[in-house]
Structure 1
Amino acid sequence: MAAVVPAAPAAAYPIDCAILLCLAGGFPASVECSAAKAELLRRITPWPIEPPLQLWRCPMGGGGVSLPSGGGSDSLAPEVAKYRDAIELWSLSKHVTSGSGGRDLYVNVGRYGYAPSGDFVQFRTSEDDVPDWLDEEVRRQTGSTLMNHYGPGFRSIVLRMQDYTGAYSTEWVSY
């Protein structure tokens, strides 16, 4: 009787490959996709400290991805670039104070995303630039709008992503 040879352990996978594949699939329930989503959220909270998707770390042959400074290059395959380019990240904070002069509202809005060069950058923005989908997400999460003097204060990161069907999903992370 021949001896049973145990199978070789699976090689570790680069987390950025998992982030890309799970992002495209809408982060389906699995151990790998849960780990990928947790890493993605770690990178962006409490503020975008790292690009959420670092394709230069994924050796899947993403079409010329080799720039360690940003996240891609002009030679990135369109099938991959569409997921990277659809990532929108918003840093929001709202603080309301009451005093003898009434209520004061302090709002800070930051918008991050991938530039056409593939670099992860902060875009110029203000509270007037908040898109309708984000205002609705703020209302859903806090019960108020961003510019309401009587709503609750908060600090959060809102991540918007697109899956392979073209559907958008958002992730609200308070900190």
Structure 2
Amino acid sequence: MKRQAMAAAMGAMAVFGTPKKAQAYDIDCAIMLCMAGGFPPSAVCARAYSTMIRRITPWPSLPPFGVCTFADVPIELGGPGGEGELDTNLPEYEWLNRTHVIWFTVRSYKKDDDGRVWGWSIKSCDRENRICTYLQRVNGADRPWFDTFVSQSGQEIDLPTRQRSGEYSLRSIMIEYGDYEGNMDHSEWFSY
């Protein structure tokens, strides 16, 4: 009887007394750290990448990440215990300043007897999606857009292709980012 009571008590403690598994970082920190490593394969980085993409795909788009607060890192593990923000203006975070949100829009219309006319633009915005620069802006072209373009960071990036014949309007978005070693990469295009 004593053994059964002891087993029941231990079982109750195991079920109700188990501490929650703490997250190492909040999601914004995970995005930054995974981006710095080029989004290596892991469950944390896969979640960080999908969260980043989910933020940029609605209209209007949100910035790909917010402020990294290290809010979930306890003081005993070197974190602030829920206080403070990561200062991304420090030199060791220069790679983060190479993050750009790239917008691609295209439209086409029939112009009387001249045939089809195309217009497209490629716009690159900072990581907060506030300061934007047009990399290309074409109106009244007699052919569709080029296959590639060169980004502000010097990458040659393939532009999206038409999904269906007869498609004359397209809006797509992607993220260009660099890792801590200076290597540049980018996400895939997301059209909506």
- Name the CA shift for 1:128/1:97 in 2 (closer, same or farther; >3 Å): closer
Residue of structure 2 in register with 1:155 after alignment: 171
Contact (CA 8 Å) 1:155, 1:174: kept in 2 or not? Answer: yes
> Displacement of 1:151 after TM fit?
9.5
Matched, 1:142 2:151: no
Partner AA of 1:84 in structure 2? L
Aligned position for 1:146: none
CA distance in 2, matches of 1:29, 1:48: 29
TM-score normalised by the chain length of structure 1: 0.68
Gaps of 5+ in 2: 1-5, 72-78, 139-147
TM-score, normalised to structure 2, is 0.63
1:43 maps to 2:60 = no
* Match in the other structure for 1:85: 97
Compare 34-43 and 91-100 and name the one that shifted more: 91-100
Counterpart of 1:125?
134
The answer on 1:107 being equivalent to 2:116 is no
Q: 4, 11, 16: which is aligned to 2:22?
A: 11
Percent identity between the two aligned chains: 26
Corresponding pairs, count: 154
Stretches of 4+ moved more than 3 A in 1? 2-7, 56-61, 128-131, 133-136, 150-153
Cα distance in 2 for residues equivalent to 1:87 and 1:95: 27
